[in-house]
Amino acid sequence: MYPKDLRYSSEHEWARVEGDRVRVGITKFAADRLSDVVFVELPEVGAVVTFMQPFGVIESVKAVSDLYAPVSGNVVEVNTALRDSPEVVNSDPYGAGWIIVVEPSDPKELDKLMTVEQYLKVIGEEA
C-alpha cells in the first residue's frame, strides 16, 4: 500500500527519485483523509519550489489543503491530466495521481524525509 522506494514528508507528500528528477504526489493516507478530490491547483512548469513550502492547493469535498514541496528546485513537469480528472489522486496516488516533477537544487534534502517504516509509525499503521 505504501511503496518502499519512496520518501515521505510529515505533510503527507511522497517523493520518488527518477534519475536526476523527483516525482511528487500525496500519500494514500492523505488522499483517504481528504476523501473525494475535486480540484488540484498546479504550479507552472518552470516554477521554483522550496523545501516544505506550499507549491499548490488540493481541494476535496471535505477540505482544502496546501501541497508542500518535499524538495527544493525547478518544476519540470506538472500532471495536467489532474485538471480534468482530479479524482485520480484518490484512485492511484502513487501512479497516475502524481502531481509534479522537480529537478532538485539540493538533493540532500531528500535525506530529511521519512522512510516508509518511519512514515507508517507517524500515521499509526503497520508495515
Each residue's pLDDT expressed in tens, for the chain with a length of 127 residues? 899 999 999 999 999 999 999 999 999 999 999 999 999 999 999 999 999 999 999 999 999 999 999 999 999 999 999 999 999 999 999 999 999 999 999 999 999 999 999 999 999 975 5
C-alpha cell belonging to residue 6:
519512496
The span from the CA of 45 to the CA of 54, in Å, is 16
DSSP state of 85: -
Three-class SS of residue 83?
A: helix
The model carries a pTM of: 0.95
